[in-house]
Structure 1
Amino acid sequence: MSSPGTSSHDQLRIIPHPSLSGHFLIECEQSIPLTPEELFPFYGDPLNLERITPPWLHFHVVTPLPIEMRQDITLDYRLRLHGIPLKWRSIISHWEPPFRFVDEQLIGPYRKWHHEHLF
C-alpha cells in the first residue's frame, strides 16, 4: 500500500495546554479522501512510521516482528537526532479500530508525549 497523500487542507496549530503550565498542544488536521476503514490499517501499522519519518532521523522500529497491534502493547524504536542515538518506547493506551488510537511515550526524548489519532 502506498502512503496516503495529504491535501491542501492540512492544518497545524500549536497552542498552550489549557491545564498544564509549560506544556503545549500540537494539533494537525489532514483531509484525506478515504474512509476510516481505508486509512486505519496504514496509520495503525508501526512499520509505516519508518516510511513516513524523515530519513535524516534514521528512525527504526525495534520491536520484534510480527507486531499485533492492540491496547497496552509497548513498541520500541530507535532514532538519531543530530547524530545522537535515542531510544523511544511507547504504549498504545487506546486502540479503537478503525476510528481512534493513542500512543504515549514511556521512554524517549520528550518530557511528555500523548499522540491521539482520530479518523
Structure 2
Amino acid sequence: MVTIKKHSGIYTLTTKQTVNVPITEAWDFFSSPQNLEKITPEEMGFTITSEVDKKAYEGQIITYRVGILPGIKQNWVTEITTVKKNVFFIDEQRFGPYKMWHHEHWFEELPNGKTLMSDKISYKLPFGFLGTIAQKLFIKKQLTTIFEHRFKTLEDFFNEK
C-alpha cells in the first residue's frame, strides 16, 4: 500500500512489501542499480545512462533518462549517500525533476526466510503553488502508479516461485 502525506512543505511517500526470499537475496536485487529498470513501468521510458557495473556504494552517481510526462523526458542524477549492507541504503537526487528527493530503502529479516522491504521517499516539488497543483493533478497519481507497478512486479518475481 502506498501512502503520501504532506508536512512542512514536503511530501512523504511510504510503502512496504514482504517478499518470500531471504534478506541477502532481496538486498542483492535492490542494491544492483540496473534492476531499477526491471521494476519501473515501461511507459516511463526509464533508462540508466551511466555505467552501473557495481552494487550500490556510498558516493555512487547514477544517471537516468525518464519520462516525467507523456512525450517529455528528463535527465535525472542521483547519488547513493548511505549504505549499510542488508539493512538500508539512501539515494538522493542531485539534478532532476524534483526540488528535493530523498529515498530510503529499508530491509528487515522476517521469520521463515522472508524479507520486509520499506520505502520512504521525502520529496519537494519546484514552482511553489504550481507544484502543489501538479501534485494534486498528476504527480501523486504517477508516483502511486509507479509503486503499485513495482509491487506487482516484485510479487510476480519473488513470490510466484
Match of 1:100 in 2: 88
The answer to whether 1:77 aligns with 2:64 is: yes
1:32 Cα deviation after fit: 1.5
1:65 Cα deviation after fit: 4.5
Match of 2:77 in 1: 89
More helix by share: 2
1:84 Cα deviation after fit: 1.0
Structure 1 residue ranges (4+ consecutive) displaced by more than 3 angstroms after TM superposition: none
Name the % identity.
Answer: 32
Deviations 1:23-53 (A, max 9, x none): 1110001111222212001111111111111
Cα RMSD of the aligned pairs, angstroms, is: 1.3
Candidates 40, 43, 53, aligned match of 2:30: 43
After TM superposition, the structure 1 stretch with the greater mean CA deviation from structure 2, 107-116 or 57-66, is 57-66
Structure 1, unmatched stretches of 5+, are 1-10
Taking structure 1 as reference, are residues 74 and 65 closer, same or farther at Cα in structure 2, changes over 3 Å only?
Answer: closer
Structure 2, unmatched stretches of 5+, are 108-161
Taking structure 1 as reference, are residues 87 and 47 closer, same or farther at Cα in structure 2, changes over 3 Å only?
Answer: same
Q: Distance in 1 between matches of 2:17 and 2:51?
A: 31
